[in-house]
Amino acid sequence: MAPPGRPTIGVFDSGVGGLTVLCALVERIPDADYLYFGDTARLPYGSKSAATVAHYAVGAVRYLQDQGAELLVIACNTATALALDEIKSAAGVEVIGVIEPGAEAAAAASRKRKVVVIGTEATISSHAYRRALEARGVAVREKACPLFVPLVEEGWVEHPVTEQVARIYLAEAFSDDASDADVLVLGCTHYPLIKPLLRRVAPEHIAIVDSAESTALDVARQLGRQLQVEPEPSSSHKSSAHTKSEQRGVPHLKFFATDSAEKFRKMGTRFLGLAVEDVVHADLKE
């Protein structure tokens, strides 16, 4: 059992990408127990129907609740876009997705009331960010960037190829009637890893909103916490997370993966910027 006041937070993603959300959570709320579920055997969710994604996601969050999760974070843009309502109905605890916090932060940051959202093909086609932003009176240009995820997974986070791809994608994203947009939303959990590169490539006056950070802030608010330390806006989230957790509480992290635990450990450490050690293979029925 968790000590009083120390929450157990369940984080769900289709794979390792959601570890950037976990990283932001650990930075904001270090004195908590975290249970992270990566459905690595069944990823990617992007090519699957809404019904299938909902079915998988509900199974995973039930698993997290059985392990003791008292609050659930859906750190997967596709699952949030396609299945958040179903997950909320199935879960008996508070559920927070990544899209609303990202849209809220973008709407707050945009003076021009015009925002560019980048994400995977699946997230962009769902138009979930468009709906969330238009509901806040903000115009949206959506741009799928399908090469960013494989580039990050190849480890090319500071690589001339990635920079060239980013220049091409962002030029398209900010073209024509989006040329006066003043906010760029990172609508994919992999993108925080190339945030320093995107910061260099994007026009200087553009504010970058990272859904992972916005979500962590929202969770902290939900937990009624007073935030004492503001994270540096675009510096390496890895070292700062590590230092802060040592200064304040110490997070306990436990991981569940539906595919190989070893593979998760290897890839996960790169995404989290902290050692991914306690990985358990979770076998869910189809």
CB of 212 to a second copy, least distance (A): 22
Question: Residue from 127, 259, 269, 270 that binds a second copy (CB under 8 A)?
Answer: 259
Active site residues: 76, 188
The window from 4-12, 36-44, 106-114, 190-198 that contacts a second copy (CB under 8 A) reads 36-44
122 binds a second copy (CB under 8 A): no
51 binds a second copy (CB under 8 A): no
Residues 10-29, one symbol each (x = binds a second copy by CB under 8 A, - = not), give --------------------
284 binds a second copy (CB under 8 A): no
The window from 58-66, 73-81, 142-150, 236-244 that contacts a second copy (CB under 8 A) reads 142-150
Q: Which of residues 147-186 bind a second copy (CB under 8 A)?
A: 147, 149-151, 153-154, 160-161, 164-165, 168
Beta-sheet pairing, 207-210 with 8-13: unpaired
Question: Residue from 2, 49, 68, 246 that binds a second copy (CB under 8 A)?
Answer: 49
40 binds a second copy (CB under 8 A): yes
CB of 131 to a second copy, least distance (A): 21
47 binds a second copy (CB under 8 A): yes
Cα separations in angstroms, 30 against 6, 158, 247: 10, 28, 9
CB of 165 to a second copy, least distance (A): 6
247 binds a second copy (CB under 8 A): no
- Of 177, 173, 205, 218, nearest to 191 by C-alpha is 173
- How many residues make contact with a second copy (CB under 8 A)? 21
**Per-position DSSP letters for the chain, written without gaps between them:** -PPTT--EEEEEESSSTTHHHHHHHHHH--SSEEEEEE-TTT---TTS-HHHHHHHHHHHHHHHHHTT-SEEEE--HHHHHHHHHHHHHH-SSEEEESHHHHHHHHHHH-SSSEEEEEE-HHHHHHTHHHHHHHTTT-EEEEEE-TTHHHHHHTT-TT-HHHHHHHHHHHHHHTSGGGTT--EEEE-STTGGGGHHHHHHHS-TTPEEEEHHHHHHHHHHHHTTPPP--PPPSSS-HHHHHHHHHHHS---EEEEEESS-HHHHHHHHHHHHSS----EEE-----
Q: Specify the residue, 86 or 153, whose C-beta has the smaller distance to a second copy.
A: 153
Q: Specify the residue, 204 or 283, whose C-beta has the smaller distance to a second copy.
A: 283
Binding site for a second copy (CB under 8 A): 40-41, 43-44, 47-49, 146-147, 149-151, 153-154, 160-161, 164-165, 168, 259, 286
